[in-house]
Amino acid sequence: MRTPEVFIKGLGVFLPDTVAVEDAVEQGLYPEFEVELHELAGAAVAGETPAPEMALRAAQEAYKRAGHRPEDTDLLLYADSWHQGPDGWQPQYYLQRHLVGDDVLAVEVRQGCNGMFGALELGAAYLRGQPAGADGERAATALLVASDNFGTPMMDRWRMGPGYVAGDAASAVILTTEPSFAQLLSVGSVAVSAAEQMHRGAEPLFPPGPTVGRALDFQARNAEYKRAALADGVGTGALVRVHGKTLELVQRTLDEAGIALDDVTRVAYMNYSREIVEQRCMAALGLPMEKSTWDFGRTVGHLGASDQVISLDHLVNTGDLQPGDHLLMLGVGPGVTLSSAVVRILNPAPWRS
């Protein structure tokens, strides 16, 4: 989807201290042989800080950096991939109460690790449908947040999935129709639903796992899916389609952004192991690993729906993205969903100057 006249005015991050992989090995939490195999360095661990509180802190930072009033917000989209608080309660209203107020449409986005992409697409479409600011009227604004704390009894962060560990974090994006330091040029998603069992495995749909205390284990589910794929061949074909659809989606997103692959300065993918980032993303695109954000991502872990936005914030703050540069963000989530977006840096971020 082309997103003309949609800009990023502010970014906010809550990223707690990290626990080194070596410490996890010493405590018997992470297999020692995987240290060299995957080259992961650590995971951000938030302790007992609730995910909605992390989201609130990230959003507060985004508003402060942008110099924008929280009450001048038209839409709140809250993305998450893990439990946020008491069952039957929704976390977006915590931010309404403590930050943006009640006169805001607030919606939870449940799209797993690709939740922030879904929020970008929904937020951009919403803003484009609002009247443009004129004659002193303020521009339409959306707050997008993503937050997860995986330090719970039914989650083993160090064995979350094949080739990655789970890190805790929250991220926030202020989208607006007012020209700002960065522009969202395009965003889109596609599904390969034939592979939906990849994240389900052989688990029954009912009763849902959390209601009976069953832990989440993507490694076991992935292994079950691969065994079934080898047995019937259907799953193998779906995996091949995932690769092909990824390349198609990236090309479509670049075309909608009006740039070529050669114009991409950096690529923010999932915070996975080196071999996964290289094989499924960078080599597939024909780009060197030096253009990826793997060196940063390996230090904090897979941050749920926040990987790409926190990488964007990191690149902006370190000066690795300059005016005129383009960031390609690419994600994979259960479904299987594939998502991508292109961001152009127009000016130095106001909080850096």
* pLDDT level of residue 198 (50, 70, 90 thresholds): confident
Mean local confidence (pLDDT), 78-91: 95
Render pLDDT for 20-64 as a digit per residue (tens, 0 to 9): 999 999 999 999 999 999 999 999 999 999 999 999 999 999 999
pLDDT of res. 216? 86
Nearest-CA neighbor of 272 among 136, 162, 145, 352? Answer: 162
Cα 316 to Cα 251: distance, rounded to the nearest angstrom: 24
Of residues 219 and 303, the one with the higher pLDDT is 303
Q: Is 267 left (phi over 0), alpha (psi -120 to 50) or beta?
A: beta
Class of domain 7-179: alpha beta
pLDDT of res. 233? 60
* pLDDT level of residue 132 (50, 70, 90 thresholds): low
Cα 218 to Cα 157: distance, rounded to the nearest angstrom: 11
Prediction pTM value: 0.95
CB 171 within 8 A of CB 215: no
CATH of the domain spanning 186-345 = 3.40.47.10
What are the start and end residues of each CATH 3.40.47.10 domain in the chain? 7-179, 186-345
pLDDT of res. 228? 73
Cα 94 to Cα 98: distance, rounded to the nearest angstrom: 6
Cα radius of gyration (the chain)? 20
Does the pLDDT at position 13 exceed 60?
A: yes
Please give the mean pLDDT across all residues of the chain: 93
Cα 203 to Cα 201: distance, rounded to the nearest angstrom: 6
Mean local confidence (pLDDT), 307-317: 98
